[in-house]
Amino acid sequence: MNGFYHIITYGCQMNVHDSEKIAGMLSELGYESTDVIEDADIIVFNTCCIRENAENHAYGNIGMLKKLKANKKDLIIAVGGCMPQQIGKADILHKKFPYVDIIFGTHNLGNLKTLIAEKKNGKKTVVEVLTGDGEVCEGDNPLRTSYPNAWVNIMYGCDNFCSYCIVPYVRGRERSRLPENILSEATRLIKDGYREITLLGQNVNSYGKGIEGASFPELLENIASVDGKFRLRFMTSHPKDFSEEFVKVIANNKKICNNVHLPVQSGSDRILKAMNRRYTSKQYLEKVEILKKYIPDCAITTDLIVGFPGETDEDFKATLSLVKEVGYSSAFTFVYSPRQGTKAAEMADQIPEEVSKARIMELVELVNSQTRSQSVKYVGKTCEILCEGYDDKKEMFLGRDEYGRMGYFKCDKNPVGEFVNIKITEANGVSLYGELLK
């Protein structure tokens, strides 16, 4: 044992899984995990830069470590991931926080052990951010922390360049893992007792570009055919690459959850064009129709942005109307945040904060009311829940149903990792409460 590590993760599931890879590397170096930051000998910030507030959280928390570092000279502080990967950001971080020991980007996450060795060999600050398109990583040994769920990368990067989005600049070009490598990872995980596999990519529907014969529907079908009781999920889908064949595969495979995250971003064609989303609201709704036709009970979720440059009241109304038409089971709603280096950040007519705030409140209210009205329909019904853990405050076990709703229930033994049936007695937003059926 070499000491303790503490990892702080910001952002998306991709980052959550990257942190599991970081944990794997630290454990290979002989470190053990601690929840108590003051006890840590190495603290790693795995950062996000998708919106300004994600960066501000990280700045605040890195700033708070100055005192800890002053009192504990051997403490190693590492800041990595999307924030330093932005052009010029590593320098800014270094100047702002000279006590940070290691700065690394998204493309060299796999080098962390070497960077730590450099630091231990006496280098004052180790800064390594690789430029270029990024590579496909194989041979990672993640220390998984989300049993019974397991994240599996199927592709890295994004080529879509939506005009508001920083991801293509910090995650590099789109590149897919070989299907046989993904299949063998998933098979191993299922054999090891994982009950839910979530395939990760910025744009899973374009999986397989550049690999002969590989496609996302085929990959899904192959993983769903692995023996054993488990659920298969994936995120995120881009509407422009979303095909009928893919929907049929979901419909025909019981193991693939009837829950599709299909980010629309806006309901206004003018704004969708300025966002470079490459579909109109009509084309989006056609894809939703296909989903509903083959999978009538499909829970559709989405991402929405308000306050994109030039968004008028009319544009915003179009978003509200699309949300009503689709009937999302839930949605992530965001206020547009200008990101340096993206096209949208240069656009005229940035929307005042108070306008965006009023719009997001109205949108959140609409989304929540839809979620509530869908959830109450569950009362009296039986749901199959995959138990994920225990909620200390509620003193209840919790888990999700196939549609992504959280179910809480009491049980006198530990059912984590098991599929259980609960009879729903109460609904509160996306949360359901029920009684365990024996």
User: Does position 332 bind ligand SF4 by CB under 6 A?
Assistant: no
With contacts defined by CB under 6 A, how many residues of the chain interact with ligand SF4? Answer: 10
Q: Is the peptide bond before 148 cis (omega within 30 degrees of 0)?
A: yes
The answer to whether 160 contacts ligand SF4 (rule: CB under 6 A) is yes
Distances from the Cα of 65 to the Cα of 95, 125, 333, angstroms: 15, 16, 31
The least CB distance from residue 32 to ligand 5AD, in Å, is 33
Q: Which of 47, 46, 10, 50 is nearest to 338 (CA)?
A: 50
List of residues contacting ligand 5AD (CB under 6 A): 50-51, 164-165, 263, 265, 303, 305, 334, 336-337, 339
Sheet bearing 196-200, strands edge to edge: 149-153, 196-200, 231-235
Does residue 76 interact with ligand SF4 by CB under 6 A? Answer: no
Decide if residue 266 touches ligand SF4 (CB under 6 A).
no
What count of residues does the chain have? 438
Our finding on whether 158 is near ligand SF4 (CB under 6 A) is yes
Among 89, 175, 238, 359, binds ligand SF4 (CB under 6 A): 238
Nearer to ligand 5AD among residue 327 and residue 332 (C-beta): 332
Residue 334 contact partner, candidates ligand SF4, ligand 5AD, none, CB within 5 to 8 A by sort of partner: ligand 5AD
* 48, 54, 79, 162: which one binds ligand SF4 (CB under 6 A): 162
Q: Which residues neighbour 94 within 8 Å (Cβ) at sequence distance 6 or greater?
A: 100, 103, 125, 127
CB atoms within 10 A of CB 245: 10
199, 152 in Cβ contact below 8 A? yes
Burial of 265 (0-12, 13-18, 19+ CB in 10 A): buried
How far is 126 from 115, CA to CA, in rounded Å? 7
167 interacts with ligand SF4 by CB under 6 A = yes
- Residue 233 interacts with ligand SF4 (CB under 6 A)? no
The interface partner of residue 168, options being ligand 5AD, ligand SF4, none and the CB cut-off 5 to 8 Å by kind, is ligand SF4
- 160 makes contact, choosing from ligand 5AD, ligand SF4, none, with CB < 5 to 8 Å by partner type, with ligand SF4
Residue 170 contacts ligand SF4 per CB under 6 A: no
Q: Which residues contact 305 (CB under 8 A, 6 or more apart)?
A: 164, 265, 266, 275, 334, 335, 336
- Is 304 a binding residue for ligand SF4 by CB under 6 A? The answer is no
Q: Does 344 bind ligand SF4 (CB under 6 A)?
A: no
Q: How far is the CB of 12 from ligand 5AD (least distance, A)?
A: 6
Q: Which does 259 bind (CB under 5 to 8 A by kind): ligand 5AD, ligand SF4, none?
A: none
Comparing C-alpha atoms, which of 44, 56, 52 is closest to residue 9? 44
What binding mask, one character per residue, do residues 184-213 give for ligand SF4 by CB under 6 A, x or -? ------------------xx----------
* Residue 129 to residues 134, 137, 383, Cα–Cα distance (Å): 11, 16, 47
Q: Which helix (H) or strand (E) holds 396?
A: strand 396-400
Residue ranges binding ligand SF4 (CB under 6 A): 158, 160-162, 165, 167-168, 202-203, 238
